[in-house]
Structure 1
């Protein structure tokens, strides 16, 4: 261990490599995940008194928490409306329950502030609380440096044990037990809900693809429409299809409304399959692909920036913008943060969502100019990123006193708030401040992993004494702090809020920010429908839960 102790960078990346290797271990549907694995490995290595400078931990935590806020910002603010109020109720249930239980356990068992905060972070499976609570402990008045180090170590140890039991509980409870309690087959219920959302169209299985895609291009030989102008075709005049090309002999003609068709012209149409078939009956027989006339459909990824579109369903958006029908443009995918939602008629579009639009190039360009901006996320804008973290760090230095209790967001809370604001502001018109999702997720994951490794190395010497003292309490707390808020949310969500069952299960996983849980749920459901609830509560809880760390530390520290 001598070389590891002398070279902290070696210890740090050794923790990451071994930790993510441990995190890949699978027991049934459960995997620990890289973060929990990293903490376990770093605690073990930390027992050999291997440390890394605290400034490294602070810098990487700022990167993590800002990236987290940046990714969640657009949906967090989009969900602050009446329609999402019922999902906010679930997040508030989670918030009140975990704070109340952690405070009650601290008073009942005389826990120190570090252990109580670690129980809160681990049982809620919210790694960001480790950072915000650890930072808040460092700012408590009346503690010696040895006590600060000891309590911060207790945060990491209690988090590790509670996280293991909390993770297993939330995954099994949401994906296996909740469907049984509601007496549903999750796969069948999700498929039925999706079909209802799509007007009765059957949903596809996970290994299926459309044999007959809805958006098509076809070429027809003019035999029935001889002498008609393009604008006189019923299907074109009603906005059902678009004419993308006309070939007369060897010449390619521009398909203007006044162009008169003649016998043996070849006409290429683009639109919905059913409309194309109807149009073909007006023109003549279908022909094979014609060289030079086979105009491909264009694809655009468009960030929704139009204020009137935000909050509308896809069906309503298509009604408000006739270009969808007139120019043959169709929504094939909805990307919210890093989650793909079903592009059904009932799916609500939020500002900042990225829509994949497919259609004829001319109509597509006109529509994009109206509803949003083409996403350009090819390089990170480090000016925007740097200013955001600076603003968050400054915000975190503000201290507000509630009686004798000093409350401060700290660097973590400040960067979270600034990340939310900077991410939301960027989403309104995505022509500046680029922070590609891949880059943001990489910085988020790396920042959290390095922070957890540093925390574990520091906490290593205090881990074993804490486990001997509270070994039986920690597993109980990890299970109870999952079951209580999740069960209350299940009852309230069904009986009072009337949330659809598959959506409710996803929302409960989201209120606890549990990615492993929603992964297991979607596997059981064989559908992305539960994500409709998950994305809303996940965005809200990602902001609310990290703030519980400073709140709990402030209340217990003042007592």
Structure 2
């Protein structure tokens, strides 16, 4: 009864796959969490036994929207990390070369077909987008329809099996195995690195900072009497700001040239460490006063200034004129939807979203010097979106030959490159191309999972056949192909590139595009230092790996 209903109305199978799949994917077993994509695929493979099939057009549209949004959101960071982020970027190249080599080795050893090889690449590298780019290029091969359907089903099955084992492998490797191999205490290393960047001690699970890094106090002036406001601020490295002066019952504007008098009550805000150091020489803290009006506004600003790229937070402040930096503090740094620590030693990259905090006049002045204000909006520029997807589809029609192998980008590769370009254009010309982060996330999640559900439903009985044919070979190959680039990157990153261990392990999680791995790693370290390395390799691998889908299909056909 239910099986017949699903076959007659496949849209029910689609949404059932999404709902049940995300429910299953939400459960955690220790640090391991399947996630919604893998959960959707597993459910779709089961429901596909009913004969429910989705339109190929729906599948193609969903994937085009997903891959364009993926490129759009990653575009600014991708281009920002080319060149200056070469040390971490090298690890993404290692990922590509080693994974391709190991997959081709599996092709020769186990006589894998092109579909199974592509699925093995997607699963072992935990990069779901490869399923789409490889499936599309297989659909254009000069083969009978039944053979194309079989190869595409093999992609999905090989992906689902190798993904499960690849996910567990990379999570355990970065959080447990690699620290043992390097003979380091990962938590101690992360705390040392955190302190070297200007932060406080690391946090245990469930802890949060009781004393925030940005604070304000009201002080009765004694020791700082007869000092100018600007001289007082410069004395402590412009890490504190006089935000309000009350003289008697009158409020006096805290201008730079204002001379403070004894018993003035001043509100001082700034970095907690600087403020604690400054208070004894300024005066006595006044208790019971309301100082909430010191920070009147926060602004999110996308960093676009080329000259700031690569500088630390402390260097940006040091190089700014006192007038430009006055009263402006960076309270948070967001990179590719991940929050990295806004510490004095944290490097900033073009495309980062900086949260500035301070008086309204100060933060607007600071925003103008760093980039453009990210306005909260719910509107999507569908003209920009539509043109971008059309351009991607047209670019995807281009093809080239690599020896005897015909390589075509396809809609997936074309829309990915188009998304990168349009995301970069948006970062340079912010008045056009609005695609709010929430809308982009919906396009990525719904687009990818709809595509995955469609190919999972279409896999049918071929899934069972492939698992019976190869048995333990696919899981074993998934583990080896996941470990290969991780081990090589660990050696290169530690002894050749001299990367700090927490950032190196974060970069290995990023080259694998593994969100569960970075989550587990942050839980072990107790702070966000691994995320700094993760965001760079994630931005690069998230673009490069999907482009390998067509390549592995061509190479597997040659070596298989």
What displacement does 1:204 show? 4.1
What displacement does 1:287 show? 2.9
What displacement does 1:223 show? 6.1
Q: Is the contact between residue 49 and residue 461 of structure 1 (CA under 8 Å) also seen in structure 2? A: no
What displacement does 1:501 show? 1.2
What displacement does 1:477 show? 0.9
Q: Are 1:131 and 2:140 matched, yes or no? A: no
Q: Are 1:93 and 2:94 matched, yes or no? A: yes
Q: Deviations over 1:133-169 (max 9, x none)?
A: 000101112x011111111111111111111111111
Q: How does 1:415-430 map to 2 (within 5 A)?
A: 415-430=415-430
Q: How does 1:16-27 map to 2 (within 5 A)?
A: 16-27=18-29
Cα pair distance change 1:57/1:266, threshold 3 Å? same
1:7 to 6, 9, 31: 9
Q: Are 1:337 and 2:336 matched, yes or no? A: yes
Q: Are 1:548 and 2:536 matched, yes or no? A: no
Q: How does 1:4-153 map to 2 (within 5 A)?
A: 4-81=6-83, 83-141=84-142, 143-153=143-153
What displacement does 1:234 show? 4.1
Q: How does 1:477-492 map to 2 (within 5 A)?
A: 477-492=477-492
Q: Is the contact between residue 297 and residue 358 of structure 2 (CA under 8 Å) also seen in structure 1? A: yes
Aligned equivalent of 2:360: 361
In 1: Cα distance, 2:323 partner to 2:167 partner: 44
Secondary structure at 2:188's aligned position in 1?
helix
Q: Deviations over 1:236-276 (max 9, x none)?
A: 68774443333345443333355566665443333345655
Q: Is the contact between residue 303 and residue 430 of structure 1 (CA under 8 Å) also seen in structure 2? A: no
What displacement does 1:354 show? 0.9
In 2: Cα distance, 1:208 partner to 1:325 partner: 35
Q: Deviations over 1:265-306 (max 9, x none)?
A: 443333345655677667654434657995444322211121
Q: Is the contact between residue 214 and residue 331 of structure 2 (CA under 8 Å) also seen in structure 1? A: no
In 1: Cα distance, 2:42 partner to 2:399 partner: 34
Q: How does 1:43-442 map to 2 (within 5 A)?
A: 43-81=45-83, 83-141=84-142, 143-198=143-198, 201-221=200-220, 228=226, 230=228, 234-235=232-233, 240=238, 241-257=240-256, 265-273=264-272, 276=275, 284-288=283-287, 294-323=293-322, 327-379=326-378, 380-442=380-442
In 1: Cα distance, 2:230 partner to 2:484 partner: 66
Secondary structure at 1:349's aligned position in 2?
coil
Q: Is the contact between residue 230 and residue 257 of structure 1 (CA under 8 Å) also seen in structure 2? A: yes
What displacement does 1:529 show? 0.9
What displacement does 1:17 show? 1.2
Cα pair distance change 1:96/1:210, threshold 3 Å? closer
What displacement does 1:365 show? 2.2
Cα pair distance change 1:282/1:326, threshold 3 Å? farther
Q: Is the contact between residue 225 and residue 283 of structure 1 (CA under 8 Å) also seen in structure 2? A: yes
Secondary structure at 1:78's aligned position in 2?
helix
In 2: Cα distance, 1:311 partner to 1:48 partner: 54
What displacement does 1:50 show? 1.2
In 1: Cα distance, 2:558 partner to 2:222 partner: 87
Give the count of matched residue pairs. 555
Aligned equivalent of 1:513: 513
Secondary structure at 2:306's aligned position in 1?
coil
Unpaired segments ≥5 residues, structure 1: none
In 2: Cα distance, 1:120 partner to 1:293 partner: 54
Secondary structure at 2:266's aligned position in 1?
strand
In terms of mean alpha carbon deviation, does 245-254 or 437-446 score higher? 245-254
Q: Is the contact between residue 323 and residue 329 of structure 1 (CA under 8 Å) also seen in structure 2? A: no
What displacement does 1:353 show? 0.5
Cα pair distance change 1:10/1:342, threshold 3 Å? same
Q: Is the contact between residue 509 and residue 518 of structure 1 (CA under 8 Å) also seen in structure 2? A: yes
In 2: Cα distance, 1:191 partner to 1:274 partner: 18
Q: Is the contact between residue 216 and residue 291 of structure 2 (CA under 8 Å) also seen in structure 1? A: no
In terms of mean alpha carbon deviation, does 356-365 or 410-419 score higher? 356-365
TM (normalized to structure 1)?
Answer: 0.92
Q: Is the contact between residue 272 and residue 328 of structure 1 (CA under 8 Å) also seen in structure 2? A: no
In terms of mean alpha carbon deviation, does 22-31 or 39-48 score higher? 22-31
Q: Is the contact between residue 245 and residue 293 of structure 1 (CA under 8 Å) also seen in structure 2? A: no
Q: Is the contact between residue 510 and residue 541 of structure 2 (CA under 8 Å) also seen in structure 1? A: yes
Q: Is the contact between residue 236 and residue 274 of structure 2 (CA under 8 Å) also seen in structure 1? A: no
Q: Is the contact between residue 18 and residue 38 of structure 1 (CA under 8 Å) also seen in structure 2? A: yes
> For the aligned residues, what is the CA RMSD?
2.6
What displacement does 1:511 show? 0.9
TM (normalized to structure 2)?
Answer: 0.92
What displacement does 1:398 show? 1.0
In 1: Cα distance, 2:259 partner to 2:198 partner: 39
Q: Deviations over 1:205-261 (max 9, x none)?
A: 4544444444333334456777x5845864468774443333345443333355566
What displacement does 1:58 show? 0.3
What displacement does 1:447 show? 0.8
In 1: Cα distance, 2:292 partner to 2:151 partner: 72
In 2: Cα distance, 1:225 partner to 1:147 partner: 83
Cα pair distance change 1:154/1:366, threshold 3 Å? same
Aligned equivalent of 1:471: 471
Cα pair distance change 1:289/1:357, threshold 3 Å? farther
What displacement does 1:539 show? 0.8
What displacement does 1:518 show? 1.1
In 1: Cα distance, 2:57 partner to 2:233 partner: 67
Q: Are 1:535 and 2:512 matched, yes or no? A: no
In 1: Cα distance, 2:106 partner to 2:235 partner: 71
Cα pair distance change 1:486/1:277, threshold 3 Å? closer
